[in-house]
Amino acid sequence: MMQSTDHARSYYRATASAMPERPGLGGDLTADVCVIGGGFTGVNTAIELAQRGLSVILLEARRIGWGASGRNGGQLIRGIGHDVSGFAKYVGEEGVRYLERAGIESVALVGQRIREHGIDCDLRWGFCELANTPAQFAAFKGEQAHLAALGYTHETRLVGPQDMPHVVGSTVYAGGLVDMGSGHLHPLNLVLGEAQLAESLGVRIFEHTEVLELIHGDTVQVRCAGGTVRAASLVLACNAHLEELESRLSGKVLPAGSYIIATEPLSEAVAQQLIPQNLALCDQKVGLDYYRLSADRRLLFGGACHYSGRDPADIAAYMRPKMLKVFPQLAQTAIEFQWGGKIGITANRFPQVGRLKQYPNVFYAQGYSGHGLNVSHWCARLLADGIYAGHSTGLDVFSRVPHMTFPGGKALRSPLLAMGMMWYRLKEIVG
């Protein structure tokens, strides 16, 4: 069933820059590449392809940034996902080093795009990983040492329990690791600015254009209600909203719900007490908390990843107790925005990037598992390299990691994973 084509009623929508309404596809067109999906992956792949001189048509079923790209926590954090060293048996030690570098360089890529093209999206540098237990804090020492060994050029510093008030106005944490090479931003304004950049490079963008059918061949035909796009190559950039458009991929990504609340604007004194250095923050729980201050001093507090497929009836009522566990001093503070969205989760928490074996002119990237802001931009460059040059070392590295299909079919995937995650959360509670 087609969902609403309007943006979620989020803080981001309320403070968005220009949001031009683009027309739907209204005829039969041709291009070198057709991109399906108007989030970070699709828009940035279109930019990278246009910069290489290829003609691109981008189709978005709803609005640019409608999905997770325009709703997420806005945390621009290094890393591809979980510890990539576990994939050495597939990609080798050199491949692991590539993935580790990519997790760092992808953040720099986003910063470079914002800076070079003057995209106004409230970018602020600084992030702190929060330890929920002393053991987690002890592990941060190894993480810091590993970053130094990789040649990480940005400042990192360990923050012990006694010094945490300098980072966050909460007593629930056992320490932290500050990273000044990561940060936070307004994600909807970023993707909207990138869409304008893509159009300035000649990309044709159509909104309100749901793809009804893919007809494969040397020329791919993308059939929509208003017409058909014919292209030499196709990019599937739908992530959690791929649904059954391509069955070879849809079963490998599970849409999971994540939710955010935004307070009323806080006084300078309160904002300074909560997050003195205006960092992005994220803890280590299975159902993690992530939060930051907006440009107008609201606390944006998110988390509570849901795998059941059912969203809370009242997001604010669901998320507010989680916020108050961290910041009980906000008990009298009003919540002015509440929203949720779907992120694409993979079984191994590693993104899926490559091309279809059956149809080598069909490329895809999906399943960022919470790291989509930076990794989507990196994967967009890999996809463009693969299409333009016919080969990409990075694309080959990502493609060598195998991905399982979630069991249970479409009807049971979410319930089965929800049961599994309940087990992990129970283990976390009982230790």
pLDDT band at 422 (very low <50, low <70, confident <90, very high): very low
Q: Tell me 68's DSSP state.
A: G
pLDDT at 9 over 50: yes
For 102-150, what is each residue's pLDDT tens digit? 999 999 999 999 999 999 999 999 999 999 999 999 999 999 999 999 9
Percent share of the chain, pLDDT over 70: 93
Residue 189 has pLDDT above 60, yes or no: yes
Does residue 100 contact residue 403 with C-beta atoms inside 8 Å?
no
| DSSP per-residue codes, 283-309 | --STT-EEEEE-TTS-EEEEEEEE-SS
Supply angle C-alpha 11, 107, 201, rounded to 5: 80
Place of tokens 């329990």: 161
Higher pLDDT, 348 or 196: 196
Q: Count helices and strands (H / E) in the chain.
A: 11, 17
What's the whole-model pTM score? 0.93
For residue 212, what pLDDT is reported?
97
C-alpha 168/C-alpha 281 separation (Å) is 9
Q: What is the mean pLDDT of residues 195-209?
A: 98
Q: How far does Cα 6 stand from its chain's mean position?
A: 20
- pLDDT above 80: residue 304: no
The span from the CA of 294 to the CA of 263, in Å, is: 10
Q: What's the confidence (pLDDT) of residue 427?
A: 40
5 pLDDT band (50/70/90 cuts)? confident
Compute, in degrees rounded to 10, the torsion defined by CA atoms 362, 254, 63, 244: 50
Asked if residue 365 has pLDDT above 90, the reply is yes
If residue 326 lies in a helix (H) or strand (E), which one and from where to where? helix 315-326
Q: Which residue has the higher pLDDT, 414 or 134?
A: 134
Indicate left, alpha or beta for 354 from its phi (over 0: left) and psi (-120 to 50: alpha): left
Q: Name the pLDDT band for 281 (thresholds 50, 70, 90).
A: very high
Sketch out the chain's domains with CATH numbers: 11-71+188-253+348-400 (3.50.50.60), 124-184+256-345+412-431 (3.30.9.10)
Judge whether residue 414 has pLDDT over 90: no
What pLDDT score was predicted for residue 180? Answer: 98
The full DSSP string for 78-102 is S-SSS-GGGGHHHHHHHHHHHHHHH
Q: Of 187, 175, 217, which Cα lies nearest the Cα of 17? A: 187
Residue 1: the pLDDT is 40
| Mean predicted confidence (pLDDT) in 33-51 | 98
Q: Which residues are paired to 59 by β-bridges?
A: 36, 206
Instruction: Please state, in angstroms and rounded to a whole number, the distance separating the CA atoms of residues 32 and 387.
Output: 10
Query: What's the whole-number mean pLDDT along residues 98-103?
Result: 97
Select the more confidently predicted residue: 422 or 159.
159
Q: Which two tokens stand for residue 188?
A: 């909807």
Q: What digits encode the pLDDT tens for the residues 339-360?
A: 999 999 998 999 999 999 999 9
Q: What pLDDT is stored for residue 311 in this prediction?
A: 83
Mean pLDDT value across the chain: 92
The token duo for 301 is 């507090």
Q: What is the pLDDT of residue 210?
A: 97
Structure tokens at 264: 């009323």
Q: Are 140 and 173 in contact (CB under 8 A)?
A: no
Give the residue-averaged pLDDT of 296-314. Answer: 85
**For the segment 311-336, what is each residue's pLDDT rounded down to a tens digit?**
899 999 999 999 999 999 999 999 99
* Rounded-to-integer distance, Cα 376 and Cα 395, Å: 13
**Tens digit of pLDDT for each residue in 43-92?**
999 999 999 999 999 999 999 999 999 999 999 999 997 789 999 999 99
Identify the pLDDT of residue 82.
Answer: 75
* pLDDT of 3 strictly over 80: no
pLDDT exceeds cutoff 50 at 204? yes
Closest CA to 129 of 323, 295, 285, 356: 285
Cα–Cα distance for residue pair 360/267, rounded to 1 Å: 55
Structure confidence at residue 4 (pLDDT): 65
Lookup result for tokens 């190894």: 142
User: Which of 183, 190, 182 lies closest to 104, judged by CA?
Assistant: 182
State the Cα–Cα distance between residues 106 and 379, nearest whole angstrom.
9
- Helix (H/G/I), strand (E/B), else coil: 38: coil
List CB contacts of 148: < 8 A, sequence separation 6 or more: 156
pLDDT digits (tens, 9 = 90+) for 387-408: 999 989 999 999 999 999 887 6
The predicted pLDDT at position 145 comes to: 97
